[in-house]
Amino acid sequence: MTTVGEQVAFFRLRNSVQRYDWGSTSAIQELLGLEVDGRPAAELWMGAHPSAPSVAVPLDGVGGASSGGDAAGTLLDLVRAQPVAMLGARVLDTYGPRLPFLLKVLAAERALSLQVHPHPHRARAGFNRENREGVPRDSPLRSFHDDQHKPEMVVAVSRFDGLSGFRRPRRVLELLDGLDGDLVARMRTVLAARPTEAGVREAFTLALHARTEPDVADDLARTVAAVRARHGAGSAGTGPGTGPGAGSRRADSTVLALAEQHPGDPGAVVSLMLNRVTLEPGEAMFVPSGHVHAYLSGCAVEIMASSDNVLRAGLTSKLVDVDALLECATCEPGPAARPRVVADASSGLTTYRPPVAEFALGAGEVLPGGAVDLPDAGPRVVLNLAGELVLAAGADGEALLRRGESVFVPHAAGPLSVRGDGRVVVAYVP
């Protein structure tokens, strides 16, 4: 048994793969060594959220075999049964007997929905309201699946593209200038009269509610045609002061891609209001609660407060709840948010610290011949993205991690290090 004293040091995780229609048909499959069969695999969940908790198998020895003495159970049940040993007193006192973060690998071949995650009070109110209304917890008609907020952070594994937060109103006006269509004309009028947060909210609201208008598909088709013509003409504007009609090739190409994926959806036009973000491998973006966003393509490690609350307003085949999204959305213009990133040249480990208390992330290459110290307390989930790694806790506890494998490390296991030749990711409570 891989133990530290009487405590099991490592639990191998068997994780759920979510096969949403926007998922990549190869990225997660290749990471896990699964057959590439053309089916999408969108998210790999590593954690204890009730919707899809990982199975936790006690490890026996460095070879990584499961122990014969302890049966596998879900990580959710394990944390509830032994909260002090699994979480530590600090995390237990703050969050109760629950793992406060959820780690994922996200792989998008097509755009995710235009969405917002609620603030804590909105999450509690929405969850309780739907409970009173008798909406089943697993119903596709439910907007609030739990009572938690869901700030999140992505760290790119490949090139990763997304939309996050609102552009400055003047820049939105530049991108809307010259485009045909009744909806964009109304949006321009509002923003020209009120180039403020209030104007952004009003224009955003107009766009979202347009999805129910009877002629929206024809109107959007005219707008998309105008964007296509501008893009084909090689619009070159890239920032403020480029003059009326100036566009952005990247913004225009985003509209065209979204309109092709979701014909007749106003979300394609809404993309002109949002910051377009590209992350290269190792770069990160933070998405606070209330922040309007949509991931477009690429593979990333994603960590969030342990919640499945997603309020959608378009670009999706799932439930759209415009009113709930608008109630929770923050419309203040500003750049996409970034976490604090600290690279340790001596260890090769980079830490990503967003301004939330539930989670932080460490990631980096582990090279042969040395050991890298990982966070030494609290609940930890460790994932290997490449090669072969050995985790060590205390004097005797060790676990082998091959590519795509993950383990849960309890607080009681104590100080933790990794050696070998691979690419480690560790999620923890800072």
Structure tokens at 55: 């199975």
One-letter amino acid of 144: F
Burial of 242 (0-12, 13-18, 19+ CB in 10 A): middle
What is the structure's pLDDT at 137? 86
Segment 262-275 shows an average pLDDT of 97
Does an H or E element contain 407, and which?
Answer: strand 406-409
What is the structure's pLDDT at 347? 81
Helices (H), 33-168: 75-81, 83-87, 89-95, 120-132
The confidence band for 140, taking pLDDT boundaries of 50, 70 and 90, is confident
What is the structure's pLDDT at 244? 40
Domain boundaries, the chain: 3-159+280-328, 167-272, 360-428
Segment 215-232 shows an average pLDDT of 96
Q: What percent of the chain has pLDDT over 90?
A: 85
What is the structure's pLDDT at 62? 52
Mean pLDDT over each residue of the chain, to the nearest integer: 92
Residue 327 clears pLDDT 50, i.e. is over it: yes
Task: Please give the Cα distance from 102 to 301 (Å, whole number).
Answer: 11
The confidence band for 270, taking pLDDT boundaries of 50, 70 and 90, is very high
Task: Please give the Cα distance from 302 to 25 (Å, whole number).
Answer: 18
Instruction: Tally the C-alpha atoms within 13 A of residue 88's C-alpha that lie toward its C-beta.
Output: 18
State the CATH architecture for 360-428.
Sandwich (2.60)
Task: For residue range 232-251, list pLDDT tens digits in order.
Answer: 987 544 444 444 444 589 99
What is the structure's pLDDT at 243? 42
What is the structure's pLDDT at 67? 46
One-letter amino acid of 179: L
Helices (H), 165-299: 169-176, 182-193, 197-209, 216-232, 249-261, 267-270
Burial of 7 (0-12, 13-18, 19+ CB in 10 A): middle
- Maximum pairwise Cα distance, the chain: 72
Segment 320-331 shows an average pLDDT of 95
Helices (H), 96-215: 120-132, 169-176, 182-193, 197-209
Residue 69 clears pLDDT 60, i.e. is over it: no
Segment 335-361 shows an average pLDDT of 94
What is the structure's pLDDT at 246? 46
Collapsing DSSP to helix, strand or coil, 164 comes out as strand
Q: Which of 43-57, 64-78, 184-198, 290-304 has the lowest mean pLDDT?
A: 64-78
| Fold match flag (3-159+280-328 vs 360-428) | yes
Q: What percent of the chain has pLDDT over 70?
A: 93
Task: For residue range 14-34, list pLDDT tens digits in order.
Answer: 999 999 999 999 999 999 988
Residue 2 clears pLDDT 80, i.e. is over it: no
Segment 66-92 shows an average pLDDT of 86
Closest CA to 285 of 301, 271, 270: 301
Torsions phi, psi for 268 (to 5 deg): -60, -40
Task: Please give the Cα distance from 378 to 380 (Å, whole number).
Answer: 6
What's the CATH superfamily of 3-159+280-328?
A: Jelly Rolls (2.60.120.10)
Task: For residue range 356-391, list pLDDT tens digits in order.
Answer: 999 999 999 999 988 899 999 999 999 999 999 999
What is the structure's pLDDT at 71? 62
